[in-house]
Amino acid sequence: MSAHSLIPTLRLALLDIFVPVACAGCGDSGASPCPRCSALLAHIPAHALSIPDIDAPIFAKSQYKGVTRRLLLAHKDGGRNGLTTPLGLALADAVKQSLTEVVPPPGKLVLVPVPSRSVNIRRRGRFTTGELAHVARKDLPCPAVVESLLRITQPVLDQVGLSRAQRQSNMEFAMTSLPGNADVVIVDDVITSGASVREAYRALTHAGHNVISIAAVCAR
């Protein structure tokens, strides 16, 4: 992304932080998210998911709809950087709920964001899932670091518009991981078909890591 193309995004981000024009969740004037949407996001109970071939607890903070969906889209593609903290805290809630299923509790965690396609990172000018992971790390009950252990190592299509079967085929063997033996929590912004987190799980376990849970802000 060129410096010229970044100017509108940077302007919106500054407005969102210092002079917010409207809540990205409901459209009301003022702070984004507004107190009502903030309370809604904070009090949603994280819910469990099940994805084939993953032997680890999976939790999402919210369903991918309504206020949460609008906030997430504004953060990812609308340049609303001021939403990083509330959405990161929502991710932290999902991580904490997933850890209640882990026995014994881990001593130290590595949060591993699901990687984005390089074209999306260039278009946005930022790695949005990584941003959320760094906020979530600070709100966890045990020491944690964020490490981008995963890489997309083969061409993949944009998942939007693909069927569930096409998503699975698109992501199959698309990632590799740096080797190690860390206690890992895979984190993502939204889980749709589960294809991306399933491939992340395969790549990390194949590289020797212990994937103890998976967490996301939203899930379909």
> What averages of pLDDT result for each successive group of 10 residues across the chain (220 residues)?
43 51 86 88 92 95 93 86 92 96 89 86 82 96 95 74 66 88 96 92 97 96
What pLDDT sits at residue 162? Answer: 66
- Look at residue 189 in the predicted model and tell me its pLDDT: 95
Q: What's the angle, vertex CA 167, arms to CA 73 and CA 51, rounded to 5?
A: 85
For the domain covering 45-219, report its CATH number.
Answer: 3.40.50
The predicted structure's pLDDT at residue 157: 62
Among residues 103, 71, 76, 110, which one has the least CA distance to residue 90?
A: 71
Question: Domain map of the chain by residue range?
Answer: 45-219
Q: Which amino acid is at 208?
A: G
Amino acid at the residue 148: S
Residue with tokens 């010229």: 4
